[in-house]
Amino acid sequence: MIPVVKTIDEVRKYVKSWRREGLSVGLVPTMGFLHEGHRSLIDRAVSENDRVVVSDFVNPTQFGPGEDLEAYPRDLERDAALCEEAGAALIFNPEPEEMYRGALTTVSVDKLTKVLCGKSRPVHFDGVCTVVSKLFNIVTPDRAYFGQKDAQQLCVVRKMVKDLNFDIEVIGCPIVREADGLAKSSRNTYLSPEERKAALCLSRALSAGRAAVDSGESSAGAVKAIVRAEIEKEPLARIDYVEAVDMDTFEDAETVRAPFLAAVAVYIGKTRLIDNFIIE
């Protein structure tokens, strides 16, 4: 059975012994309740590294007041089975105490975190950057794997790695979707059957936006309007944002020019879902 360790010291012991053997190490940071999206990150990590560590930690510092920290789904046993099957070497599943006992330090990336998800979730990215920095320092991986569904997170982590000179390659992996288009997310489990159907408005709207780009639409405003109009057809949907930005600066895009990110956050009932498309 794959080892599940709870302490930073134990992770370090494993990594040191691998390093002595000259092995490379990949890290897949997760909050657990793993699905096929995570599985694709682990598969890629296993194919590119000798040993893979999966962190499985519902990080309290990235949840704001009134968000779903307590409700966030957890199933370590199932996660361990998935990691083992995928060929990961170690799961790091610390308690919040282990990660944050006495901590007074926060890692913060400016500017990129003030827009899109950062507007409605003001503490979120500080929590992400802090925990990801800690995981990087604990595991010292050669490579770390993040999903493109959280496109803003991926860009923020890349910027942090550059600014803080982490010697780690950050690898972004494509969004994995259900057969009907819904982007895989641990939060999809919150949806009632009726909400599950309504949630398809995100991928449908983004596909409409993408189709417009593919047929030559070059105005970012027009693409946003197409996406917004499609979501607004769904009565159970409440838009948090529909944005189109330059992916390097996260400034509003006027024209559709790579690197371009069209991103949405939409409440379906009480569940906030995100999705996007990228033109690289």
Q: Which residues are tagged catalytic? A: 38
Stretch that binds ligand PAF, among 24-32, 85-93, 220-228, 265-273 (CB under 6 A): 24-32
Cβ-proximal residues to 85 (8 Å cutoff; 6+ apart), any chain = none
Cβ proximity to ligand PAF, 131 vs 198, nearer residue: 131
What type of residue sits at position 124?
H
Could you tell me if 149 and 22 are in contact, meaning their C-beta atoms sit under 8 angstroms apart?
Answer: no
- Nearest distance in Å: CB 33, ligand PAF: 10
How many C-alpha atoms does 201 have within 13 Å on its Cβ side? 26
Residues between 146 and 185 with contacts to ligand PAF, criterion CB under 6 A: 150, 153
- Nearest distance in Å: CB 109, ligand PAF: 13
Instruction: Write each residue from 115 to 144 as x if it is in contact with ligand PAF (CB under 6 A), else as -, in one continuous string.
Output: -------------x--xx------------
Q: Which of 25, 26, 30, 140 is the binder for ligand PAF (CB under 6 A)?
A: 30
Cβ proximity to ligand PAF, 14 vs 92, nearer residue: 92
Coil/strand/helix, residue 5:
strand
Stretch that binds ligand PAF, among 25-33, 44-52, 161-169, 256-264 (CB under 6 A): 25-33
Cβ proximity to ligand PAF, 41 vs 253, nearer residue: 41
Q: How many residues bind ligand PAF (CB under 6 A)?
A: 10
Name the token pair of 208: 């409409």
Name the token pair of 188: 């999809």
Stretch that binds ligand PAF, among 13-21, 23-31, 76-84, 228-236 (CB under 6 A): 23-31
Residues between 45 and 64 with contacts to ligand PAF, criterion CB under 6 A: 59, 62
- Nearest distance in Å: CB 124, ligand PAF: 8
Cα–Cα distances in Å, from 142 out to 82, 88, 139, 237?
22, 15, 9, 41
Q: What is the DSSP string of 100-130?
A: HTT--------STTSSTHHHH-TTHHHHHHH
Is there binding between residue 29 and ligand PAF (CB under 6 A)? yes
Coil/strand/helix, residue 44:
helix
Cβ proximity to ligand PAF, 15 vs 132, nearer residue: 132
Rounded to 10°, the helix 36-48/76-86 angle is 40
Cβ proximity to ligand PAF, 132 vs 247, nearer residue: 132
Could you tell me if 76 and 55 are in contact, meaning their C-beta atoms sit under 8 angstroms apart?
Answer: no
Cα–Cα distances in Å, from 44 out to 19, 49, 56, 91, 256?
20, 9, 17, 16, 30
Cβ-proximal residues to 53 (8 Å cutoff; 6+ apart), any chain = 11, 14, 15, 25, 26, 27, 28, 88, 89, 90, 91, 92, 139, 141
- Nearest distance in Å: CB 108, ligand PAF: 15
Cβ proximity to ligand PAF, 18 vs 125, nearer residue: 125
Contact residues: ligand PAF, CB under 6 A = 29-31, 59, 62, 128, 131-132, 150, 153
